Structure 1
Amino acid sequence: MRISFIIICITFVLYAHAQKINWNNVGPFPIEEKGGIIFYNIDGEKCSDILYDKDQDDRYIIRDYNIYPVKKNGLWGCINHEGKQIIPCEYNHQLWPIIIEGEVYIPVTNRSTGLWGILNAYGKTIIPCEYKEIKKLEYSYPKMYHLLFVQNVNGKWGAINVKGEIVIPIIYDEPQSGKPSNLGLVFFREGDRWGGFNEDGKNVLPFIFNYSAQQPMFTKQNVIVQTMDNTWFACDKNGNKKKLNIDSCERLYTYPDDNLLVVSMYHSDALFDVTSNKYVSDRFYQIALEYQRKFVADVETTNGFKSFIINDKGQRISSNEYDEVHYLEYGYLEVKKDNRYGVIDYNDRIIVPFEYENSSDINTLTPNMFVVIKNGKAGIVNLNNQKVLDFLYDYISIDKKTKLLEVTNDNKYNFLDDKCNLAISWVNDELNLEIEKYHYLYSIEKSDVDENIPYNNTKNNDTYVVIIANENYDESNISKVQFAKNDGKSFHDYCTNTLGIPLENIKYIEDATLNKIRYGINWISNIVKVQETQPNVIFYYSGHGVPDETSRSAYLLPSDGLANDFQSGYSLDLLYKQLGELHTNKTIVLLDACFSGTTREGKMMTTDSKGVAIKSKPVQPKGNMVVLSASQGDETAYPYKKKKHGMFTYFLLKKLQETKGNVSLGELETYLNKKVNQQSFIEIGKFQTPTVNVSNSLTEKWKALKIY
């Protein structure tokens, strides 16, 4: 029980906070074919017939901003998530987007001149190709995102905005490299001096700072710079300067989220507080690895160098000393003591005991989980050093965007599902792993009708249900019915929650063979026969239907059926006869299938079919029966891919959700006819028309009957 509980905990921690993915920005996925790359969408459909080069330098998929670099005949362009080419393949360098204030911009060069310009996400020229070089401020303050460093043909630098307007004159020798300011300041060099500009292009810090010294460094509230006479100053974003009482030193280290400096000189470090303008600690051999105003300090002893934790005044947190200290994420440190490695936090509390032999044996996974290695294999332990994942893999990491655990064995890649089992077969490269992760997430993401399912306290004990969801078929040339299992599972959930039908009153069968279909019909027949009153019956089917080409009679296709042998199917005539003979108050048959010989995608069901859809013959219901079918005649029952359901089933569930199950069959039929017809044309460009077929005994009153 303890192991089960721990696995539940890791599942919750890793997967409960996964980001909601905008599937409109996912894909296309590059697949190697015909000696090149063909792009497919998340549904496995080909985006276009264009064959791109497969020897691309990097086929990493940029998903966030709907821009994907591609290469054709040795030249680069870009496509969007639909595979549409938005920038022609006519550039001799890879096109990597940059993001400025949430908008996508793409630096490009003119092939004749070699000069740089900027295109937008639609391939329109925003800045002409007239610059020798263009750089984006990689970590800039939000207000600075509109600035780009540019170099003109004379080798001089300045800054422009995305409209191409000059914000900082293009007259300087060099822009500051490294991390720009969180204060909205950027620096340029003129000769041997630095000067600083604000986000409006105003020169707020004059060119008086020593270029030969360290580049400008930034604390939470100041930029730290040195003048030509080696005097240090702290300057705010308005250009106000404060002289710092710092001795001459070899180097300063700053922390952007704080106002503390580490002043280093001749193997001797001390903490200096900018606000109080004074040293606040003794000197140590080295001070590093700051976290929330705590540091790791090193001192030299007779037994070699020792490390310990100090606060922002240089005071030791505890008496513990360590032989080695290595930075880990989330405020943890990997430390070595007595030739063994463990994990502590910055309060010097032991998190993972000292029982690991190598420095590489421990790494952080999440704030509450660590990857550790024993006997050469990686597993996961929690903050109490309890094992939550067995030591089975060469390497374990977490994809911080998808929150999926990635694992490696023998140079092959995989990831774990929400129960910490291998989700797929092992793949040989990280690109295929990336594709498989998104296919997996797409397959398990719930539709809006699968969440917030209404609950009915009233128990509907007099209704019995058979649900058959046939998605997979034994015969290799029969295509699967996309989302059929989703259809069946969700309808089952609505039966139990919204319609109030007890679980024991429902027979749910996935990928039903012919014998299992017979079993389901016999089960409900026997149940009805022993009832003292007339119960209600619901029969739901999602899967393939097939026609008899000669008689045009319709059949349900079992998972072990043969598409070209209608006798291997279950006749609708027989189904209606068996259900019609039952003494029921009402029998409702719901069929998310078509009987024209086509798939949900509108293609022929088998590769060797004639390619002509057949208009099946309607079957007259018997007894007290109402049949709602997904389509009519030779139409196709389409999937609603965005919603992970058959089109018919999605709107069936949507109406049950909206009405909390309190809907008449007449209202339901009108709603389905309107919504399915409209949406099938919007999504696919073809009409799907649900039909209703009623037994003679209910001709006058079926519309007023409730679904339960």
Structure 2
Amino acid sequence: MRLLYTNSLKAYVKILMFGGFILAVSLPSVAADYCYLSDSQTTRKNQLASQHKLSITSTKIKANDNKEENTDSFTINKNGKVLYQNLIELCVTKQLDLIAKKNNKIGVINAAGQLIIPFMYDSIYPYGETFVVEKEWLFGLVDRQNQPLSAIEYYFADYTLSQAEENPLVPLIGYKKLGIIEVDNTNKGAWGSIDSSGSVVIPFIYDEISTISSLSYEETTGVYKVKKNDYWGVIDNKGNLVLPVHYQRINWFNAAKKLYLVIKNNQTHVIDANQNVRINGDIEDISFIDIQEERKLNIYDYDGTLRPAIIRINDKYGLFDSNAKQKLPAEYNDLSYFYQDDLLAAKKDDLHGVVNTKGDWIIPLVYDELEAVYLDTAHEDLREVKYFIAKKGANYGLLSLNNDIILPFEYKSMNHYNLDIPNRILASRVITNSLNSIDKNNVKFALLTADGKSITPFIYDKIVHDNYDSRTHVWQKGKEGVIDIDGQILLAPLYQSLDYDIVEDGYIFKREGLYGWLTDSDYKEVIPAMYDEPFEFEEGVATVIKDGVTMSIDKQGEVITP
């Protein structure tokens, strides 16, 4: 056993280590967390005053150690008569009992002002009509006359004790010390539970008892998982066995439907309370579909609805609903969520399609490539899928959400950059020549709307969106220019190169073998193409070379005299 001390809610806490488990218990203190909820305490004190003529006053007393904070000393009066004074710490329970400390020990005073539990315990917690009491780090139960209901021989965690008043029908799960293991001088014991009458509900025979967790958090459902000899099972709160103790691991898949995610013989399955296997195969990963991609390990959505799951089994993906019913068999190379309209991108044997979360196919699994086109009319990354760029064979086309062909499969390339160029597609196709014949090498690019309408004609040799200047660059006959997302020409394609200076907000351009400078605000050539080498500005000054002579200039092209 190890003892650790730390400050917690005006009291010290000792942490007991037994059999590798931590059990935190308060040293002499009224100590339940709810005692420090000022609103409930104020209400209860007012009830005592109005209904039982019991009033509580407090005064500050100076701590003996200057390093400690001053504390409150409480006095209890009834009809103007002092009943108790010099009480350090005081808590009013739901039943209007007063748990208080005097001379470093804890007792209980009822609403009539009678001392029903003497000041003799290290801590006291209300538990229904009874009290959990602590002496020398061990816990037991007494009734309202301080008559023992159980031996003082248990260890209970702080969380269990603090919840005892709120859940008097739930048994107290804890640890019972059985002796000392002489080999390493550690404590030997077992886990079980007692109820508010002191009766053993779950026998103290288990190596560990805990609530069953889902993939992301613990859920209280009236059943617990128990461990014995390194294997887990499930019991109810009366100690009845729900699942036998022969699993390597147990979590919830769906607590509402009593579906468990278990590992047995190194294989992961989903089973029901009757041990029927609901999802077979070796489950490797579960991802509950989440539009905001924040709760992928949680079967519950923010509104409490249950979500379907993408499950990887034997390195293949399938789709299952919250009842573990198969919507798509685990035979796909990939299933991924589009974050909108409950649509999934599916891939199988290098072919792509789109399916909804009910397992209905929206776009058949026949395309070599498939890319969602997101609409963002508000320019706030509010993405909505309406179209898909699809590749079949060597060509690309545009499909609607209903699998209608918007643009035929005759394009050499199609790209969509939602965040960079909202609601736009960059496309290329083979253009017929003046003799109306097709030249496969005559490929031209254009800017299209998300629904396939032309913004620019197919006249450019290349179109690239530049992330540095957030503009669309175009090329014609080897010369570079800039257009906006509406196809308007900002810089005609006259330049051998355009290099954006993100610090100085302009372009170093090259034309006819010489370099100059233009601004990105009005696209005017401030410094004409006259320098032999590319240059860059630093704090408004650039070093340039002209006809072999090196000099310094400012951003207006004026030579700076040394």
If the TM-score is normalised by the length of the shorter chain, which range does it land in? 0.3 to 0.5
Q: With the length of structure 1 as denominator, give the TM-score of the two structures.
A: 0.32
More strand by percentage: 2
User: Higher relative contact order by CA 8 Å / sep ≥ 6: 1 or 2?
Assistant: 1
